[in-house]
Chain A
Amino acid sequence: MAPPEAEPQPPEAAVGPERSAVLEARSVSKRFPGVVALDDVSFSLRPGETHALVGENGAGKSTLIKVLTGVYRPDGGELRMSGEPVRFARPFEAQQAGISTIYQEVNLVPLMSAARNIFLGREPRNRLGLIDFARMYREATELLDGFGVRVDPRRPLHTLGIGTQQMVALARAVSVNAQVVIMDEPTSSLEPREVETLFRVIDNLRAQGIAVLYVSHRMDELYRVCERVTVLRDGRHIHTGDLADLDRMQLVSMMLGRDLAEVRREGVTSFTAEGHEAARTPVLTATALSSRHQLHDVSLSLYAGEVLGLGGLLGSGRSETAKALSGALPLDSGELTVDGTPLKRLTPAAAIRAGISLLPEDRKAEGIVPGLSVRENIVLAAMPRLSRAGVVSRARQDRIVDIFMKRLRIKASSPEQKVGELSGGNQQKVLLARWLCLEPKVLLLDEPTRGIDVGAKAEVQSLIDDLAREGLAVLLISSDIEELIEGADRIVVLRGGAVAGELEGDEVDESRLLEVLADHTPAPDPGPASGGHDDPVPPGAEAAPARQDVAPAAEEDPR
C-alpha cells in the first residue's frame, strides 16, 4: 500500500503523503541549553516494517527515541500515530498508545518473577480482585514459548540470562498491544545464539504487522533485519530510504558526513602534514586483549614518536581498548608490555607507574574533580611525587602548575579557581596537564577534542603534534574523521571489539578508512541465517543478497 520510496529523499519528501505511517514525526525539534539535539527532523514508520535508525554520537538518535516515547516533549513539530496528531506527556501515555521500548539495559524488576514482570501493572485478576497467578503463569509461558524461550516464568528475573531477560522485556512490550516496538541497541549484551532468537522474534513481529524501530551500530544486523533506514547526523535528518539501495560505504559516509567525491581536501585541522619519525621498537605492546562482550583479541603496538589513530564506529571498542591499555578495564586475558617488560598487575596505578596515561572520554564523569581547584586537578595524579613525607609541597605544586598553565594556555582566573567553573576546552587542558606532568611515555587520548570550542581544539591538536615530535607515543581516538586522518601516522581500525584492519603511510586517507570502517567480514556468529552474506564481498555488491531474506515478508505485510 505504501508508496514505494525508490530513492533517497530529502526530509520534506519523507514527510509527504505517508498515509499508512503508523508513527510519524513531523519537523520535530528539541533544544537543550546550548545544544540543538534535534533540528527539524521528520521521520515515519510503516506498519510491519523494520526500520533502522543510525547515526554516530550526538546524532540525535536517543533524543528522537525519547521524543517518540514521551520522555521528552518536542519544542517544535508534531507526532502522529496512524495519521492522528498525538501528544505524550509521559512515557506511560506513549505506551498506552502502543509504543513499546526495549532499552539496552533491561529495565525490569530483577527480584520479581518473569511472569510478574511481563504483566506488571496489568496482572490478570480473579473474581476476588486478586492476582490470578495460574493464568498469569500460563499466559507468560505461552508468550515466551512464542519467542522460542523456554523458561519457568516463576523464576525471579535476575536468575535468568541477560538474553532471556531481554526476551521477557520483549514479551512485555508485545503483550501490551504494541503497534510500534523501539529497540535501542538490543543486541549489545547478547550472545550470538540469543541474537538469532531476537531476529526470529522480529520476524514474528513483522508478520503481525508491528513496526520495529531498530537502533544499532552493527552493520551486519542492520542489513540482516532492516528494510529501511534513517540516518541522523548532528541532530539533522540526513536520509531515509530502502537499505537495499545503499551499500555500507554509502551508509557509513552518510553517518560520518563524509562525501566520497571530495575525499582529499586541504587540511582543516591543526596537524602538520608530514608524519613523525617513529622509533623502531615499540614502547607499548598489547597482545590479545580480551574482555567479554567488549574486546576480542585486540593486539597493537605503539612506537615512540608516533600518533597511532584508533578508528572505528560507535561501539567498536575504541574506548574499551584505551581503557584496557591503561589498566582500567578488567580483562579476561591478554598482556601489556611496556619497553619490553610485561605489566604484572593491570591497574590504573600500575599503568601510570609504567608511564601510560589515559585522557578519558567522559571528561565530567571520569576526568575532572569539579569541586577542586585547577591546581589540585592538575597535580592529582602527581601528588605523591610532589610531596615530602606525605605533606604536600605547595611550592613544588605551584611550579608545575605554573609551567603547564602557561604551556597549555589554560584560561582560569587563578590556579585556585574551581575546575567545574571552567569551559570545556580549559577543563580538557587541565586534564592534559594532569597527565603531562607525570612525564608519561605513552599518552592515550580518548576524544581529546570532543565538546570543546574551535580555538581550544586547534591548540589541543597542535599540542598532540608537538608531543609526538618530542618522542611521546600517542594513541588518538576521535570520531572526527578529519582529525583522525590528519593527526595519525597510522590507524588501527576496530570493528565489533576486534581489530579489523590497519592503515599505514599512504593508505591513511579517508576513502581507505571508510572502506575499512564499513567493510564486511564473515559474521562471527554462524547462525542458521540466510546464506549469501557470509563472504567478504566488495562494498556495494553485498547489500542486495543480504536483503533477500527480509524483503518478501515486508512486501506482504501492508496488505
Chain B
Amino acid sequence: MTQAAVSPSPGPARPEDPAKPDRPASPLARLRDPAWYQEYGVYVAVAVVLLFNALFTDHFMTADNFRTQLVQVAPIVIVALGMALVIGTEGVDLSVGSTMALAAAFLPLYLGYGLVPALVVALLAGAVVGAVNGALVSLVGLQPIVATLALFVGGRGLALVMADGQLKQIVNPDLLSLGTGSFLGVPLVVWIAGLLAVAVAFLVQRTTFGRQIVAVGGNRSAAALAGLPVKRVLIGVYVLCGVLAALAGILATARLTASDPSSLGTLMELSAITAVVVGGTPLNGGSVRVLGTVAGALLMQLLRATLVKHDLPDSTAQIAQAAIIVAAVYVARERRSR
C-alpha cells in the first residue's frame, strides 16, 4: 500500500493501481487470484485513495470535508442498495433516476396535507413503478433492461406532466430539515443511508426473502423447481428498488430545497450500477454485496473529489471512473470463466 502512495502518478492511470500495491500485506499467491480483487479490491482502493489524500491533499481529512462527501454520496448509496438487489437476481433497473424524479414531482402536490402523507404518496409512487417493472420482468417475461427502459423514459415524462414541467420551491420546514438536519453531528441523510445499508444487509443475509433473492439469481430454474415463489421474489425486488429510489428522490429534493423533476436523478442509474459493479457484485446474479456496494459508491465519490481538489477537470474524473469500472468488470469476468 505504501508503495503506491509514495509513488503517485496522478491522472487517469492511477485508479487501476489501488489493489495491486498491497504486496507487503498479503501472500503473493492471493494477488494472482482475480477472485481476491473482486472480494476485497474495493476496500483496498478506498483505503488507498484515503491514504493518498491524507498525504497529498490539503484540508481533505477534515470533518467538514467528510460531511460534504457523505451527504453527496448518500442518495447514490440508497439507490445502489436497491440496484444491488436487482442485479443479484440477474436483472438491472434503469428507471431509478426517473423514479427519483417522479417522487420529487409528487412531493409538492401533497405537502399541503402534511409531511407524512406527502412522503407516503412519494414512496408509493416508487413502489408502483417497481411493481410495474417487476410485473414486466416476471409475468410478461421481458428482459429487465428493456422493461425498465420503458419506465426510464415514461417515468420522467410522467414526472414532468405531474409537475407541469416546472421547478417548485419547497418551503415545508420539516421536509427541508430532512436534507439539512443532523443528529449527533452526522447529517440525517447519512444516518438514513447507513441505517438502510444495515437493513438491506440484514434482509439479504438473514431473511427468507433475501436468501430467495440470491437463489433466484444464482439458478432460476433450480429455484423454481425447488418451489420458490420466483415471480413474487422478482416483483418484490423491483418494488424495493423503486421505493429506495423514491426515498433517494425525496432526500435529494429536500437538500435541493426544490422539486426539479426535469433534472433530478439524471444518470443516477449509471452511478448506482457503477457502485454495485465496483463493489464486486457480479452482473450475472447469485450474489448481493451490500458493504461492497456502499464502498463502491464511496470510492467513486472520493475519487472524483480527489481529482477535483487537485484541480483536474471533471472530464478527467470521468475517465478515471471509466477505468475503475473496466477494471471491476474485468476482475468479475476472470472469476466467472474460472
Contact residues in B for A366 (Cβ distance below 8 Å): 219, 221-222, 225
Query: Are A390 and B209 neighbours in the complex by a CB distance under 8 Å?
Result: yes
Measured CB to CB, the closest approach of chain A to B205, in angstroms, equals: 9
B206 on the A face (CB < 8 A): yes
Q: Which residue of A is nearest B287, CB measured? A: A371
Query: Are B208 and A348 neighbours in the complex by a CB distance under 8 Å?
Result: no
Q: A372-B215, A392-B211 are in contact. Are A380 and B226 (CB under 8 A)?
A: yes
Measured CB to CB, the closest approach of chain B to A292, in angstroms, equals: 20
Measured CB to CB, the closest approach of chain B to A351, in angstroms, equals: 8
Out of B208, B219, B221, name the residue touching A383 (CB < 8 Å).
Answer: B208
In the assembled complex, the Cα of A372 lies from the Cα of B287 at a distance in Å of: 9
- Residue with the greatest number of chain A CB neighbours at <10 A, chosen from B223, B227, B228: B227
Query: Are B206 and A380 neighbours in the complex by a CB distance under 8 Å?
Result: no
In the assembled complex, the Cα of A369 lies from the Cα of B206 at a distance in Å of: 18
Query: Are A369 and B225 neighbours in the complex by a CB distance under 8 Å?
Result: no
A487 on the B face (CB < 8 A): no
In the assembled complex, the Cα of A391 lies from the Cα of B222 at a distance in Å of: 22
Q: A391-B206, A392-B206 are in contact. Are A348 and B227 (CB under 8 A)?
A: yes
In the assembled complex, the Cα of A390 lies from the Cα of B202 at a distance in Å of: 12
Query: Are A326 and B218 neighbours in the complex by a CB distance under 8 Å?
Result: no
Q: Which residue of B is nearest A349, CB measured? A: B227
Out of A349, A367, A391, name the residue touching B207 (CB < 8 Å).
Answer: A391
B55 on the A face (CB < 8 A): no
In the assembled complex, the Cα of A368 lies from the Cα of B219 at a distance in Å of: 7
B300 on the A face (CB < 8 A): no
Q: Which residue of B is nearest A326, CB measured? A: B225
The A-contacting residues of B in range 211-240, CB under 8 angstroms, are 211-212, 214-215, 218-219, 221-229
For chain A, what secondary structure do more than half of its interface residues adopt (helix, strand, loop), or is it mixed? mixed
A547 on the B face (CB < 8 A): no
Contact residues in A for B212 (Cβ distance below 8 Å): 383
Contact residues in B for A434 (Cβ distance below 8 Å): 226
Measured CB to CB, the closest approach of chain B to A430, in angstroms, equals: 11
Q: A328-B225, A348-B224, A349-B227 are in contact. Are A390 and B208 (CB under 8 A)?
A: yes
Contact residues in A for B223 (Cβ distance below 8 Å): 369, 380
A 347-384 binary contact with B (CB < 8 Å = 1; else 0):
11101110000101000011111111000100011011
B286 on the A face (CB < 8 A): yes
Query: Are A380 and B208 neighbours in the complex by a CB distance under 8 Å?
Result: no
Out of A353, A360, A380, name the residue touching B228 (CB < 8 Å).
Answer: A380
In the assembled complex, the Cα of A360 lies from the Cα of B222 at a distance in Å of: 9
Query: Are B211 and A383 neighbours in the complex by a CB distance under 8 Å?
Result: yes
In the assembled complex, the Cα of A351 lies from the Cα of B227 at a distance in Å of: 8
A104 on the B face (CB < 8 A): no
Measured CB to CB, the closest approach of chain A to B36, in angstroms, equals: 15
In the assembled complex, the Cα of A286 lies from the Cα of B209 at a distance in Å of: 33
Query: Are A381 and B218 neighbours in the complex by a CB distance under 8 Å?
Result: no
A387 on the B face (CB < 8 A): yes
Measured CB to CB, the closest approach of chain B to A361, in angstroms, equals: 11
Contact residues in B for A328 (Cβ distance below 8 Å): 224-225
Query: Are A387 and B218 neighbours in the complex by a CB distance under 8 Å?
Result: no
Q: Which residue of A is nearest B285, CB measured? A: A371
In the assembled complex, the Cα of A369 lies from the Cα of B221 at a distance in Å of: 10
Q: A383-B208, A390-B207 are in contact. Are A371 and B222 (CB under 8 A)?
A: no
Q: A349-B227, A381-B226 are in contact. Are A371 and B221 (CB under 8 A)?
A: no
In the assembled complex, the Cα of A368 lies from the Cα of B209 at a distance in Å of: 18
Q: A369-B219, A392-B206 are in contact. Are A348 and B225 (CB under 8 A)?
A: yes
Query: Are A349 and B229 neighbours in the complex by a CB distance under 8 Å?
Result: yes
In the assembled complex, the Cα of A337 lies from the Cα of B68 at a distance in Å of: 65
Out of B215, B221, B287, name the residue touching A380 (CB < 8 Å).
Answer: B215
Query: Are A392 and B219 neighbours in the complex by a CB distance under 8 Å?
Result: no
Query: Are B227 and A352 neighbours in the complex by a CB distance under 8 Å?
Result: yes
A 126-158 binary contact with B (CB < 8 Å = 1; else 0):
000000000000000000000000000000000
In the assembled complex, the Cα of A328 lies from the Cα of B222 at a distance in Å of: 11
Q: Which residue of A is nearest B282, CB measured? A: A371
In the assembled complex, the Cα of A387 lies from the Cα of B207 at a distance in Å of: 8
Query: Are B211 and A370 neighbours in the complex by a CB distance under 8 Å?
Result: no
The A-contacting residues of B in range 83-110, CB under 8 angstroms, are none
In the assembled complex, the Cα of A371 lies from the Cα of B287 at a distance in Å of: 8
Contact residues in A for B215 (Cβ distance below 8 Å): 369, 372, 376, 380
Query: Are A369 and B207 neighbours in the complex by a CB distance under 8 Å?
Result: no
Q: A368-B222, A369-B222, A370-B219 are in contact. Are A391 and B287 (CB under 8 A)?
A: no
Query: Are B221 and A381 neighbours in the complex by a CB distance under 8 Å?
Result: no
In the assembled complex, the Cα of A372 lies from the Cα of B88 at a distance in Å of: 13
Measured CB to CB, the closest approach of chain B to A97, in angstroms, equals: 33
Out of A358, A360, A371, A384, name the residue touching B218 (CB < 8 Å).
Answer: A371
Q: Which residue of A is nearest B229, CB measured? A: A349
Q: A383-B211, A390-B209 are in contact. Are A371 and B286 (CB under 8 A)?
A: yes
Q: Which residue of B is nearest A358, CB measured? A: B225
In the assembled complex, the Cα of A153 lies from the Cα of B264 at a distance in Å of: 52
Measured CB to CB, the closest approach of chain A to B302, in angstroms, equals: 30
Q: Which residue of A is nearest B202, CB measured? A: A391
Out of B208, B214, B221, B224, name the residue touching A384 (CB < 8 Å).
Answer: B208
16 A-B Cβ contacts within 8 A? A326-B225, A328-B225, A348-B227, A349-B229, A353-B227, A368-B219, A369-B215, A369-B218, A370-B218, A371-B214, A371-B286, A376-B211, A380-B215, A380-B226, A387-B207, A392-B211
New contact pairs (18) apart from A360-B225, A390-B208, CB-CB < 8 Å: A348-B225, A349-B227, A349-B228, A365-B222, A366-B222, A369-B215, A369-B219, A369-B223, A369-B286, A371-B286, A372-B214, A372-B218, A376-B215, A381-B226, A381-B227, A391-B206, A391-B208, A392-B207
3 nearest interchain CB pairs? A369-B218, A352-B227, A349-B227
